[in-house]
A and B are shown apart, each in its own frame.
Chain A
Amino acid sequence: MTNVFKNDFEILHDDKYIYFDNAATTQRPRQVINAVSEFYRTINSNPLRGLYKWSVESTQAYENSRRKIAEFIGAKDASEIIFTRNSTESLNLIAYSWGLNNIKKGDNITVTILEHHSNLLPWQMVSKVTGASLTYIECSPDGEISDEEIISRIPSNTKLVSAAEVSNVLGVRLPIEKISKRAHKVGAVMVVDGAQSAPHIPIDVKALGADFFVFSGHKIMAPMGIGVLYGKSELLEAMPPFLHGGEMIESVSRYDAVYAPVPEKFEAGTVNAAGAVGLAAAIDYIKSIGFDTISQREENLCRLLIEGIKTIPYAEYYGSKSAETHSGIVTFNIEGCHPHDVASILDTENICIRAGQHCAQPLHEHLGIPASARASMYFYNDESEVERFIEALKKVRSWLGYEH
């Protein structure tokens, strides 16, 4: 193994496997696994509750993670960070708690056609319950969004705009700054889904113009089951709780309760403290690699993979022609071969890719493709893997019974 970027990832030490499904979930380095294990081995206790040493320490560990995340995404204060299970839960929290209480009939909600279902279904729900309209910002075949589109699809009655910073299908980065500028101009709240951007580029919620920003730990090398909701203080303060229960109260009487201040108000029940600790370790790790290195390696791998696909007759890829706007993601099809069969046959070569619609059915319809195969790479992947992948891809049609 000559790729030093794999050193910390035990699961990648067996060169037999090529893991190209990083947009679904990344692998975890030993630093993250050790941090979680150390939490359980040395200070495990229910944070925020106990008055003894372990509980104090687990509370500190949990709150340190919150501070680290606030700093990581440029939040003003740690209390603007709410821990959730994942981006989906964060988006649902916004939809139920802010959406249902601030959006009414006659209002509009705008999303983009590039969204993952997790950033569509909560808004479909709000639209159905309140009677508000749901409007789509459309994109060109390579994922570009025009200024006219932004202006015309965010009309003056818009109350909320929600957009992914990076598409999980095309890998393209959306013009979030322009979208949020327009959203704010009409007085709407801007939600940014950072599930696919946080692993690849530095996040600054202020520069993005995000009133809410969400991301999942497991896509940036943290454990599964820990996610983040960032919200501006004034918004979070005014929102009612999403889940009710333990640890989110100040006092409770028989028929009433006074809720705890933000962020505890939104963290009912025993929290995933070990997950938060793992997320903090993942952030340390991602910083130690550096976003410059991450982008450079991803761009290089994307360029090689796209060049390779271009040499294969019957193969086509989607999205931008330029490798630097792919965020490690290359979505493709091989004529006559269903993506599920492509994935199954590549599995026999120990190559892991995703196939189907990647939770983005409306985008596939918009692009006019029934389904697609997706190779998504991260900084720990390397050129030899891309070469092996392309060699395998060349043989897919013959494995599926075609003569050429």
Chain B
Amino acid sequence: MNTKDIYREIINEHNLHPSHKGEINDPSYELDGVNPSCGDKIKLQFKIDENGIIEDAVFSGSGCAVSQASCDIMLDLVIGKTRDEAEKITEAFMRMIKGEASEEELEILEEAEALADIAHMPARVKCAVLGWRTMEKILKENRRETL
């Protein structure tokens, strides 16, 4: 897919009409993510229940269409999943961006697989992974509390 198609078919819709943009009042965890190459800043808020299931998650802040859309798609995928599953999905995404994901990994990425073409826009990889890196941090750093 060329760049214009990536925008038209995936990015624009999630960027202009995101499903998970906003703020929640009582998040279990929240974390800011910054893309140093452009100064884009997003905030992720997660509500995780006692069984480790991601009940709700939102993002807020400003950023380019690639980072916003990638974040929205990511949250689509992980809401309702356990944190273990979310971590697996994140690993799969990171491997996909590097072009190293197995077929099995691509399958669990569902719609996010469409972002594989970001790998053809090397200048934009940092934008695409901003939300994912931030989520990875939330999941890893806050692991012990729910064990």
Provide the B21-45 mask, 1 if CB < 8 A to any CB of A, else 0: 0000000000000000111100000
Q: For residue B147, which residues in chain A have a CB less than 8 angstroms away from its CB?
A: none
Docked-complex contact A345 and B3, CB < 8 angstroms: yes
Residue of A nearest to B38 (CB): A356
Docked-complex contact A348 and B66, CB < 8 angstroms: no
Instruction: Give residues of chain A (308-363) contacting chain B, Cβ–Cβ below 8 Å.
Output: 337-341, 344-345, 347-348, 355-357, 361
A-B contact count (CB 8 A): 60
Docked-complex contact A347 and B3, CB < 8 angstroms: yes
Among the 9-residue stretches B10-18, B83-91, B96-104, the one with 4 or more Cβ atoms under 8 Å from chain A is B10-18
Among the 9-residue stretches A102-110, A121-129, A287-295, A396-404, the one with 4 or more Cβ atoms under 8 Å from chain B is A396-404
Compute how far the CA of A385 lies from the CA of B66 in the bound complex, rounded to whole angstroms.
28
- Tell whether B63 is near chain A: CB-to-CB under 8 Å: yes
- The residue in B2, B12, B62 that gathers the most chain A C-beta atoms within 10 A of its C-beta is B12
- Tell whether B119 is near chain A: CB-to-CB under 8 Å: no
Docked-complex contact A399 and B39, CB < 8 angstroms: no
B120 to chain A, nearest CB (A): 11
- Tell whether A371 is near chain B: CB-to-CB under 8 Å: yes
- Tell whether A141 is near chain B: CB-to-CB under 8 Å: no
Q: For residue A364, which residues in chain B have a CB less than 8 angstroms away from its CB?
A: 39
A33 to chain B, nearest CB (A): 26
Question: How many of A's residues come within 8 Å of B, CB to CB?
Answer: 20
Docked-complex contact A401 and B3, CB < 8 angstroms: no
Docked-complex contact B65 and A400, CB < 8 angstroms: yes
Docked-complex contact B127 and A371, CB < 8 angstroms: no
Docked-complex contact A340 and B124, CB < 8 angstroms: yes
Which of B7, B37, B39 is within 8 Å of A401, CB to CB? B7
Compute how far the CA of A270 lies from the CA of B147 in the bound complex, rounded to whole angstroms.
59
Compute how far the CA of A195 lies from the CA of B100 in the bound complex, rounded to whole angstroms.
42
Q: For residue B3, which residues in chain A have a CB less than 8 angstroms away from its CB?
A: 344-345, 347-348
Residue of B nearest to A355 (CB): B38
- Tell whether A370 is near chain B: CB-to-CB under 8 Å: yes
Q: For residue A361, which residues in chain B have a CB less than 8 angstroms away from its CB?
A: 39
- Answer whether A370 and B62 are a contact pair too, CB < 8 Å, given A344-B3, A400-B7: yes
Compute how far the CA of A206 lies from the CA of B16 in the bound complex, rounded to whole angstroms.
54
Docked-complex contact A400 and B124, CB < 8 angstroms: no
Residue of B nearest to A357 (CB): B39
Which of B4, B16, B123, B124 is within 8 Å of A348, CB to CB? B4
B1 to chain A, nearest CB (A): 11
Compute how far the CA of A339 lies from the CA of B13 in the bound complex, rounded to whole angstroms.
18
Q: For residue A401, which residues in chain B have a CB less than 8 angstroms away from its CB?
A: 7-8, 11-13, 15-16, 65
Residue of A nearest to B126 (CB): A340
Compute how far the CA of A341 lies from the CA of B2 in the bound complex, rounded to whole angstroms.
14
A348 to chain B, nearest CB (A): 5
Which of A341, A348, A402 is within 8 Å of B64, CB to CB? A341
Docked-complex contact B39 and A344, CB < 8 angstroms: no
Q: For residue B124, which residues in chain A have a CB less than 8 angstroms away from its CB?
A: 340, 344
Docked-complex contact B13 and A340, CB < 8 angstroms: no
Which of B7, B13, B127 is within 8 Å of A345, CB to CB? B7
Which of B7, B8, B13 is within 8 Å of A341, CB to CB? B7
Q: For residue B8, which residues in chain A have a CB less than 8 angstroms away from its CB?
A: 399, 401
Q: For residue B12, which residues in chain A have a CB less than 8 angstroms away from its CB?
A: 400-401
Docked-complex contact B66 and A341, CB < 8 angstroms: yes
B27 to chain A, nearest CB (A): 24
Q: For residue B127, which residues in chain A have a CB less than 8 angstroms away from its CB?
A: 340
Q: For residue B38, which residues in chain A have a CB less than 8 angstroms away from its CB?
A: 338-340, 355-357, 371
Compute how far the CA of A402 lies from the CA of B7 in the bound complex, rounded to whole angstroms.
11
Compute how far the CA of A337 lies from the CA of B15 in the bound complex, rounded to whole angstroms.
10
Docked-complex contact A344 and B123, CB < 8 angstroms: yes
Docked-complex contact A356 and B37, CB < 8 angstroms: yes
Instruction: Give residues of chain A (228-248) contacting chain B, Cβ–Cβ below 8 Å.
Output: none
| B residues with CB within 8 A of A | 2-4, 7-8, 11-13, 15-16, 37-40, 62-66, 121, 123-124, 127
| A residues with CB within 8 A of B | 337-341, 344-345, 347-348, 355-357, 361, 364, 370-371, 399-402
A-B contact pairs, 7 of them (CB 8 A): A339-B64, A340-B64, A340-B127, A344-B124, A356-B37, A356-B39, A370-B39
Closest 6 CB pairs of A and B: A401-B12, A338-B64, A340-B64, A341-B65, A348-B3, A356-B38
